[in-house]
Amino acid sequence: MFLEVIVALVVGVLTLWTYAFLKNYIKLKNIPAPTVWPIIGTALEFKDPEESMYIFPNLMKRLKSKTLRMHMGFRTVLVTADYTLIERVLGSPTLTHKTYFHFIPWLGHGLFTSSGDKWRKARKLITPTFHFKILEQFLDVFNSNGVILINKLKNEVGNTSVEVQTLMSRCTLDIICETAMGLSVNAQTEESSEYAKCIHDITYLVNARAFTPLYNIEWIYKRTKMHKDEQAILKVLHGHTDSVIKTRRLKLQEEADKKEVGRVAENEDDFGRKKKVPFLDMLLQSTIDGRPLNDKELRDEVSTFMFAGHDTTSVAMSFTLFAIANHPEVQKKAFDELYNIFGSDKERMCTTTDLNEMKYLEMVIKESLRMYPSAPLFSRTVSENLDYNGTVIPPGIPILFLPYSIHHDPDHFPDPEKFDPERFSPENYDGKKPFSFIPFSAGPRNCLGQKYAMMEMKCLLSMILRQFELKPASPVHKLELRSAIILKSLTGIKIQFAERKY
């Protein structure tokens, strides 16, 4: 009897898999795929899913196609580095659906994870908070946290190999907490910060789940130790955010009461100084569908700010420091530009005018984002029939985009392994193929925070370059890149810092 049940289960699973496979195979058979095995699909191609940034390009070369059909268990996924398909999907005002369900326990249904009408309303609500006049007020936050970072880096002078990503991550965490919620978690000065640890841990868990196929099945995942750990971490993170929301609500009410009796101007503190207004305060004063956001909606958006504005920026700056340290001619040009702006004054804080004059440094950052995109892959799910080279891709098919592959395609960037900021000079980069450079995605669902990120990176990197000469680590450090949710190096990102001589 037991054997009969097992046989029936196996036959049932095979039947369901065959139906799921054939349903999409018939429609997508013209798109090349590696060998497909029953149940496991194309999983044998992935000894280590985090090596997908290398596996997919190799498969594309082998199968002579920039778009592949992959079968992950019962799911069919398209993977592409084809400019035509990228432009068609990312540039579409209707193909905006995302499927990032593994983020939902942490980020809820905020701007990053939502789709359809809910996403459009959230985008309309949040877009004004990234107006350049509002972003300017955060420059003081960038500068003040940059000073703490500089003092940390001074302690590293003389060390021949310094892992920079942890230092940069703690700095950007303090900055995003202050700009998003109006308070610092002191990640740079208190290395035992529980909140900082939980942010690090939840990012790791989300990534681990995303690359573990069995954990994408909800009923299996909820019975794992990983799920139990995730719940404990989220209790801390959500509890902290909920507490901040409650405190800010009370604070805004107090300020409204003061305003009524004429004790303080709307945009000034008790001493008459212009206030820095965190994103949370702007959301607290906004409405959607004619009503204020509830606490859950506020938490979702604040958590989204925390995710989007923390590791992505710290990784981008870490790789940029590595590139500058290993290309002295680039460092000289960047420093010469900064010397023309600041002279020999190492201590002067950056202004908006200063940032606007950092043309070459911006080119350096862009070239670093080309070579080391913070998000090495991202996806959309087709929500309507999509014609692609005569094949109709049906609704429900996820398409995985590979910025790393696109950015290293010689059709778009000749000699792609060479670090050359001049690619992004006005003379060399005409922007005629905007979807060939997508470190912040592109189209209607591009990253709202890209101006914020560029301001932060230019401010902090310029402070570092004015204080230190960057040198390659000793022994020579080699990156081992892996395509997690955020690009990472298994060996860390290591350089040397020497005091800058004027």
Return the structure tokens found at 200.
């690090």
* Residue 457 confidence (pLDDT) above 90: yes
Report the pLDDT value the prediction gives residue 262, as an integer from 0 to 100.
56
Average pLDDT over residues 273-294: 83
For residues 348 and 494, the answer to whether their CB atoms sit within 8 Å is no
State how far the Cα of 360 lies from the Cα of 338, in Å rounded to an integer: 9
DSSP string covering 54-99 = HHHHHHHHHHT-SEEEEEETTEEEEEE--HHHHHHHHT-SS-----
State how far the Cα of 290 lies from the Cα of 286, in Å rounded to an integer: 9
Q: What is the DSSP letter of 474?
A: S
Minimum mean pLDDT range among 12-16, 206-210, 218-222, 451-455: 12-16
Average pLDDT over residues 138-147: 96
Report the pLDDT value the prediction gives residue 264, as an integer from 0 to 100.
45
State how far the Cα of 305 lies from the Cα of 113, in Å rounded to an integer: 12
Return the biggest CA–CA distance within the chain. Answer: 85
pTM of the model: 0.91
pLDDT top residue among 432 and 445: 445
**Domains observed in the chain:** 116-499 (1.10.630.10)
Minimum mean pLDDT range among 186-195, 265-274, 375-384, 460-469: 265-274
Q: Exposed, middle or buried, 349 (CB in 10 Å: 0-12/13-18/19+)?
A: middle
For residues 172 and 314, the answer to whether their CB atoms sit within 8 Å is yes
User: Which residue is associated with the tokens 């079968």?
Assistant: 71
Amino acid at 405: S
State how far the Cα of 91 lies from the Cα of 70, in Å rounded to an integer: 24
How far does the chain reach from its first CA to its final CA, in angstroms?
85
Return the structure tokens found at 469.
């000469």
pLDDT band at 183 (very low <50, low <70, confident <90, very high): confident
Average pLDDT over residues 257-282: 63
State how far the Cα of 171 lies from the Cα of 145, in Å rounded to an integer: 7
- Chain CA centroid to CA 266, Å: 34
* Residue 273 confidence (pLDDT) above 50: no
Q: Exposed, middle or buried, 6 (CB in 10 Å: 0-12/13-18/19+)?
A: exposed
pLDDT band at 268 (very low <50, low <70, confident <90, very high): low
> What SS3 string covers 17-29?
HHHHHHHHHHHHC
Amino acid at 166: T
Return the structure tokens found at 304.
């989204």
Q: What are phi and psi of 92, to 5 degrees?
A: -80, 135
DSSP string covering 204-261 = HHHHHHHT-GGGGSHHHHTTSHHHHHHHHHHHHHHHHHHHHHHHHHHHHHHHHHHHHT
Average pLDDT over residues 272-294: 82
pLDDT top residue among 354 and 266: 354
Return the structure tokens found at 337.
């530009």
State how far the Cα of 369 lies from the Cα of 15, in Å rounded to an integer: 45
Report the pLDDT value the prediction gives residue 272, as an integer from 0 to 100.
45
